[in-house]
Structure 1
């Protein structure tokens, strides 16, 4: 097979004799017998379709199957490494189903073969949700190099920390060199600046080899503003019935759009061996089909067998995402917001809808989230009647994904500053909050560098040029203008220096408060795994309450009893002198500051136990 990415223009090929199949995937697919590659598109707006290789156009035959009208395909005797573009009515057009776009989203695609990697994870069966401790990372800023290969070298450190599941921010190809990844336009092509597809496969394989699951954040609610060529093939991918915050809605009822989404989910799990997906902003995926697209996604993914999991980012607080659609878990913004208000006192933007403090946190822990049908004080078209949430009594603890930091909650601040960079939040209080996060039976998520209270910010950054770049920058200011920080200086997302600021400083974790915070996280994650009570995941064994500014959480099980106390106030206390509705267990299991006695300075937390 010739690799035309480096070879001169080849002589004209003769198509390989193959039946025109109506069930094959779109894009370029190497034939199982290795005799060639099938090129296949759905194009409703033009009659004349070809594939261009090495400067030569090869016409594609239109299917005569009335059920698959507008399908054009051909098979050529080329293989992996071949560069190509489709030509629609004489216009060269990138392949939206490309498996790799080495020159960016406006350039040629490369044919990729997926049967050549010698997987070492043949006995890998994944990690059940109740054993997941998620670590969210952005490949481009996780290391100075910003590559899969460099990130792979750090995996043993995450394993030693106690992480069990790595969650990568979106990888689908997007315009520009760097960005968060939520402006993807080629869902099947991993972003080229991070490395090649085989580098990504090696990353996942290496993670599995040391017992780490790998999840991927995927965006199925919109496409980015630059490089989306789907409409060139057919406007039917989109609909005016629904509008999203990013523009025209995706028509999930249209079978080709539906297959684009469901087959993409399967591809990441099948061809790259990801263990599960985090679905971005599912409140922005309206679908009036008989079977909702989320339910079909869950069915397709779970049908692959093993511990393949589906998580939703969805602020509506809807248990039906798990009980009816059969997703496995939901990101819970409410826990973060109550924590944020408790630690900082913030009341701008949506934080005004949260009280914070020990009482509010206790309620959120007992109920799973804060809003269970109350009126949301800000107008939101995704909330019928502006009522937010439903009671979540039916959900098990692991289905709530809790966090005190993530990419959004840091990056949606004007300077991208982390919680530990806020002057009114002490490192001790941050370690106390971390104790609550990691001791609860809900599934915890940690954002890169959080484990050592990283000083590096994570501002929003993108690499759009010209007027589009200006519009994106201004759009960010407008979207978050109700936050106090956006009234002053805002980091320019298009400035490369903003991207460089976000790169982790791995050296700092060895020093001072950073090193102490890292030890705290290691100890807590070890307790979460080995303690006979804290390793349980039952909501029924847990109750929470408060005494003044002290949050208490109590576990009562056959294996013993544990009590967590977190002093959210500013005055030092002694645990034994608190007027609690139960007797404290006698032994000090953990102190967030490493102290030998259960004294509670401002922001400090302890865990006591018996058995």
Structure 2
């Protein structure tokens, strides 16, 4: 695909381009010297700058106002300053690993807080830990250029440029190469539903990039009905995957792709990746629970997207482990064990039923026919931790036995497991929300956080960490010295043990064709049996803090063959079934 956005390095110089249909005059300023650009009928301005090459800094002067390139591959210093021409030889060096999707065990990682350095190079030094813990992939929170010195990444405004806070494009390429050398796939979270509130100059010269008739929390919606708009994001996705060598992408909040162009844009994003080899893995976050985006072909391969982050898995688990039932947890508090059983066996809890969180409107589509690998299971992630008033981890707010059960279920269910960095060793290090704005924007963020989570009592207090404070950012950094603690070592060993059992018993079956799943609940004990062409898996789980064992009988529909291959808590095999203590679970495979 010919690149339309960003500079092109040629033998005779650099061709600069900017889509600015509403501009009256555009110049490129390279090294202090301005060159007038010519406009074509489609609204693109361009000019060849001779004797210019990689490393040159430049800005666009649009009707007298200097702005960075919205498709900048690198910034000299922050998102409002000069852009930098990047050596095209950097791209294409790293080849995707092509690992099988059903072999994935994912660590979600925020570059800025994963290490004390908070950089791409700093993360390289910790990659051996992730492989040693059993992970097969790391998924980076968004890394594109954002305003300020620290950010979760979801306020990006220069989507093609790695954030200066994390390092250079060369540093990022080195991180990907280092991951691949260790056999680690590496995914990237990308945000295409909005731009951040500071440093986005596109509306000043390309008003139709946005649709003012469709409102979002961030202003006018991005107009995905426009070919040039869709092309901008498709080129961005291809740069990360086919340029840098990321093994896949996670598309943030596709339910917030508003307007008439959403369906065609999602299909275009997917189809643009299908011709690549090895084919990258494509992941969704989609609160709409649209099963049709996860459909499989006759061979079991994804037609559009590999999998979706499954909030319906997280929410009932959280209610069971913590007893919390406020805000968006409220609909799952009526019968969380039943919701969890449905999620384990069918994918979504909401498959078209009215949702209290949507004012009674229906949510979701039937998903029982989809294979478990179409869903990503997690007991924690950046959102579910950071959206708490204080950013506490489960290890701080739930019994240790409950945390152990959640680890077991997440790593040994046939859904694709994902843990948030440090979860593998049970860290109690908090991960509060943080960003770096000033003035009225900073005040608006503080106010908006309280309003958005008004349904949670924790946001009513006065001791909430200031999201704009450097101290809040620093307190979110992982403390790797925790690994010397006996409890952390025990948790890490459990993670390794469960991943080993997954690799031996679960992944080989999920790699074959999914046939069906059955479930039942007996006095609160969940039973699920998954059947694949390669055999069956059977799970029993008692996700309750009861004081006595619960004895359950095997039946013809969900039999128990022999001894379990993995357990947590107290599990006793009996002649007629099994007995499970509180917060206990066991996994059986076909004899």
Q: Indicate if the aligned counterparts of 2:73 and 2:85 stay in contact, CA closer than 8 A.
A: yes
What secondary structure sits across from 1:414 in the alignment? coil
Who is 1:606 aligned against? 586
Which consecutive aligned stretches of 4+ in structure 1 deviate over 6 angstroms post-superposition? 557-560, 594-599
After superposition, what is the alpha-carbon deviation per residue over 1:450-509, rounded to whole angstroms, capped at 9, x for unaligned? 111111111110001111011011101100111121111321100111111111111212
Which of 221, 224, 231 is the equivalent residue of 1:252? 224
Who is 2:432 aligned against? 459
Judging changes above 3 Å, is the alpha-carbon distance between structure 1 residues 510 and 535 closer, same or farther for their aligned structure 2 residues?
farther
C-alpha displacement of 1:408: 0.5
Matches within 5 A, 1:294-309: 294-309=266-281
CA separation in 1, counterparts of 2:285 and 2:156? 17
Who is 2:497 aligned against? 523
After superposition, what is the alpha-carbon deviation per residue over 1:223-257, rounded to whole angstroms, capped at 9, x for unaligned? 00000011122111111232222211101122221
CA separation in 1, counterparts of 2:272 and 2:536? 41
Who is 2:378 aligned against? 403
C-alpha displacement of 1:57: 1.3
Matches within 5 A, 1:65-214: 66=41, 68-116=42-90, 119=93, 121-122=94-95, 124-214=96-186
Matches within 5 A, 1:365-514: 365-379=344-358, 386-422=361-397, 425-488=398-461, 489-514=463-488
Residue 334 of structure 2 corresponds to residue 330 of structure 1 = no
Which of 298, 313, 322 is the equivalent residue of 1:344? 322
Judging changes above 3 Å, is the alpha-carbon distance between structure 1 residues 534 and 427 closer, same or farther for their aligned structure 2 residues?
farther
CA separation in 1, counterparts of 2:523 and 2:200? 54
CA separation in 1, counterparts of 2:79 and 2:262? 34
C-alpha displacement of 1:535: 4.4
CA separation in 2, counterparts of 1:473 and 1:602? 40
Q: Indicate if the aligned counterparts of 2:92 and 2:244 stay in contact, CA closer than 8 A.
A: no
Judging changes above 3 Å, is the alpha-carbon distance between structure 1 residues 356 and 464 closer, same or farther for their aligned structure 2 residues?
farther
C-alpha displacement of 1:569: 2.0
- Higher mean alpha-carbon deviation, 370-379 vs 181-190, is at 370-379
Which of 548, 557, 570 is the equivalent residue of 2:545? 570
What secondary structure sits across from 1:115 in the alignment? helix
Judging changes above 3 Å, is the alpha-carbon distance between structure 1 residues 70 and 429 closer, same or farther for their aligned structure 2 residues?
closer
C-alpha displacement of 1:572: 4.8
Who is 2:567 aligned against? 591
Who is 2:300 aligned against? none
CA separation in 2, counterparts of 1:557 and 1:327? 21
Gaps of 5+ in 1: 1-21
Who is 1:3 aligned against? none
Judging changes above 3 Å, is the alpha-carbon distance between structure 1 residues 535 and 500 closer, same or farther for their aligned structure 2 residues?
farther
CA separation in 1, counterparts of 2:276 and 2:15? 25
Q: Indicate if the aligned counterparts of 1:357 and 1:568 stay in contact, CA closer than 8 A.
A: no
What secondary structure sits across from 2:122 in the alignment? helix
After superposition, what is the alpha-carbon deviation per residue over 1:118-164, rounded to whole angstroms, capped at 9, x for unaligned? 83x55x54222222221110000011110111111211221122211
Who is 2:518 aligned against? 543
- Higher mean alpha-carbon deviation, 561-570 vs 290-299, is at 561-570
What secondary structure sits across from 1:100 in the alignment? coil
Q: Indicate if the aligned counterparts of 2:391 and 2:432 stay in contact, CA closer than 8 A.
A: yes
Which of 45, 48, 51 is the equivalent residue of 2:25? 48
Which of 13, 16, 38 is the equivalent residue of 1:39? 16
After superposition, what is the alpha-carbon deviation per residue over 1:159-207, rounded to whole angstroms, capped at 9, x for unaligned? 1222112110001101001010001000101101101001101111111
CA separation in 1, counterparts of 2:350 and 2:14? 52
C-alpha displacement of 1:555: 4.7
- Higher mean alpha-carbon deviation, 446-455 vs 352-361, is at 352-361
CA separation in 2, counterparts of 1:535 and 1:459? 38
What secondary structure sits across from 2:200 in the alignment? coil
- Higher mean alpha-carbon deviation, 405-414 vs 546-555, is at 546-555
Q: Indicate if the aligned counterparts of 2:537 and 2:588 stay in contact, CA closer than 8 A.
A: yes
What secondary structure sits across from 2:125 in the alignment? helix
Aligned residues: CA RMSD: 2.4
C-alpha displacement of 1:29: 2.1
CA separation in 2, counterparts of 1:151 and 1:46? 42
Who is 2:6 aligned against? 27
Q: Indicate if the aligned counterparts of 1:533 and 1:557 stay in contact, CA closer than 8 A.
A: no
CA separation in 2, counterparts of 1:187 and 1:532? 37
C-alpha displacement of 1:259: 1.3
Judging changes above 3 Å, is the alpha-carbon distance between structure 1 residues 288 and 57 closer, same or farther for their aligned structure 2 residues?
same
C-alpha displacement of 1:284: 0.8
Number of residue pairs matched? 576
Judging changes above 3 Å, is the alpha-carbon distance between structure 1 residues 291 and 541 closer, same or farther for their aligned structure 2 residues?
closer
C-alpha displacement of 1:73: 2.4
Judging changes above 3 Å, is the alpha-carbon distance between structure 1 residues 185 and 118 closer, same or farther for their aligned structure 2 residues?
closer
CA separation in 2, counterparts of 1:114 and 1:86? 21
Q: Indicate if the aligned counterparts of 2:221 and 2:259 stay in contact, CA closer than 8 A.
A: no
CA separation in 1, counterparts of 2:13 and 2:196? 32
Gaps of 5+ in 2: 297-302
C-alpha displacement of 1:308: 0.8
